[in-house]
Amino acid sequence: MAVEHKLIFAGTMGAGKTTAIAAISEIAPVSTEVQNTDTQTHAKATTTAALDYGEVTLANGDKLRLYGTPGQERFDFMWKILGAGALGVVILIDNSRTDPLDDLRRYLASFADVVRGYRAVVGIGHTETHPQPDLNQFHLLADSMNLQVPMFSVDVRRRDDVLLLLDVLFHQIEQDVQMADRANDLETAQ
Amino acid sequence: MDKHSYSVTTVGLNAHDETIVRSVLNLIEGSTRDKWEYTESFQADLVLCDPEAALTRIAIKQFQETGRPVCVAVLKSGQTRSTLTHFIHFPVRASEIIGVLDNAADEIEHPLGKVDSSFEESPQIHGELPVPDELQDKRTISDLLMAFARRRRDEKAAWQINLDGKCIYVFEPERTFASSIELNAQRLNDLASATKAPALRRVGGIVAKGLRKELAPRPIDELLWNLGLNQEQRALLPALANAKQIRLQRWPDFGRLGARKSHFAFAALLTRTPQALEAIPALTGQPQSEVYAFLNACALCNLLEYTTEHDTGGTDSGHMIKVQPSRWSGLVRIMRSALGMETRAA
């Protein structure tokens, strides 16, 4: 029977969630959009109200379902709901926003369990045009929250950058597999 | 009559043309009135330049302000010498270059244009400002770049690092670098394995401004990363020679630095728990040379933690994860395939 796997793309409005999903989805992403009521912080005409959806069909018949969380804070109750049981979470940060460190802090707090389980990765966009805060400051923020998460400068308009983020997640999963194998071998040997 | 010694460099020529020009300079050694020595430093006495190159504009501007360097256009078919008064034609002939060097030597000794002597005497232009303590006595270019990476300055400054005639420019407070020559793998290897200590000097305002504008500086850690990856014979850096347990503080920024396939496996392993150095190749299925290159790059970018004693409790043991190994490893392979990513090497 085909199994469904879930991958979450989280981030503020305009961080590139829809773009990232579109880069890898085999279907045109489905977006539920409404008028952007927060034009003071972002000039987009529309924003995702509930979520973006894309999918990839795997060779064994399983489905990889891609969900983009709504960016506006009033929908943040959905983040944890969507994150439950997910393969991993890709957190996208827009470094051109007023306080990207605070943005990351909120997402790390919401997905702390996922981060501790080595199932999260952070992509920070617009670093070429907005080099501050730099990556070191983002890492220091995570350290202050007793969390460690891979973070990278990316441009999600480039498919390779989206694949980089997913490849890191996959390597984290493979690392778990290898560590479990070694632990099992150790147990067997004892 | 005593021979004077002058330095000559090329600007804006492609690698092939530069090689030819340098060959001719070697050929005519002893035939010119004065002694000419080739350098890769931008601040030579004379530059042989492509009149259309961006860096030539910087050289001309500096000449107009300070009387140095004398600029000689190397003209190919269809090119004009622009504002340059000295020129030779490509393909370069020995007789032509001897003539232009002898004439240029006169101009170096007796500048035709107005030379602002106060500018000339300013230590800021000649780089005679003292080098700060934390930048002194560095044995390798990597050590010097790491010192720049650690410095926190608000004031603008530009520096030239000269290593065997190869020049790297560093800019503060941005902590960026630029090079007027392409830093390919061979050049990086040469820089990383040089035995001579690098020479450091301050770069004057006009040149610094021009270099910042024309050379598109990049963050210093990008150069440190590539120096680390291109150490000669992939040997481990001396600082890591006694390392027993190694851990990575954080994943390197692969989005900006780039990454080989093996780097993902190294980072995933070493960010979890400290590992014995000798165990890493077997744990990742990668050759020792790849391990060392990655560790060198991480060390130069200050991403590594290591101990020189074995920590019996620190290695990867007893970490129990409730995972169904066969299910997940197969699934990751299938997902990579569906996304068009390379499958992980076994």
Residue-wise pLDDT for A13-69, tens only, equals 889 999 999 999 999 888 776 666 666 666 666 655 667 899 999 998 999 999 998
- The candidate with the shortest Cα–Cα distance to B283, out of A116, A177, A88, A165, is A177
In angstroms, the CA B223 to CA B216 distance is 14
Burial of B41 (0-12, 13-18, 19+ CB in 10 A): middle
- Domain boundaries defined on chain A: 4-189
pLDDT interval class at B20 (50, 70, 90): confident
Which of B76-85, B222-231, B318-327, B328-337 has the least mean pLDDT? Answer: B318-327
In angstroms, the CA B82 to CA B63 distance is 14
Are A153 and B271 an interchain contact pair (Cβ–Cβ within 8 Å)? no
Instruction: Flag whether pLDDT at B47 surpasses 60.
Output: yes
Q: Give the mean pLDDT of A57-83.
A: 83
CA distance A170 to chain B (A): 6
CA distance B156 to chain A (A): 17
Instruction: Flag whether pLDDT at A137 surpasses 70.
Output: yes
Q: Give the mean pLDDT of B66-75.
A: 86
In angstroms, the CA B85 to CA A11 distance is 59
Pairing of strands B275-276, B245-248: antiparallel
**What is the crossing angle of helices B288-300 and B220-229, to 10°?**
160
Are B255 and A161 an interchain contact pair (Cβ–Cβ within 8 Å)? yes
Are A150 and B331 an interchain contact pair (Cβ–Cβ within 8 Å)? no
Class of the A4-189 domain?
alpha beta
Q: What's the whole-number average pLDDT of chain A?
A: 88
- Summarised one tens digit per residue, pLDDT across range B287-301 is 999 999 999 999 999
Share of chain A above pLDDT 70, in %: 89
C-alpha distance from residue B74 to each of A110, B49, B53, B78 (Å): 63, 6, 11, 12
Q: Which amino acid is at B103?
A: N
Instruction: Flag whether pLDDT at A184 surpasses 70.
Output: yes
CA distance B117 to chain A (A): 40
In angstroms, the CA B184 to CA B191 distance is 11
Q: Supply the pLDDT for residue B337.
A: 92
ipTM for the complex? 0.89
Rounded to 5°, angle at Cα B194 from B137 and B307: 70
Among B72-86, B138-152, B157-171, the range of highest mean pLDDT: B138-152
Q: Give the mean pLDDT of A98-127.
A: 94
Say which of A59, A139, A148 has its CB closest to residue B338: A59
Higher pLDDT, B209 or B110: B209
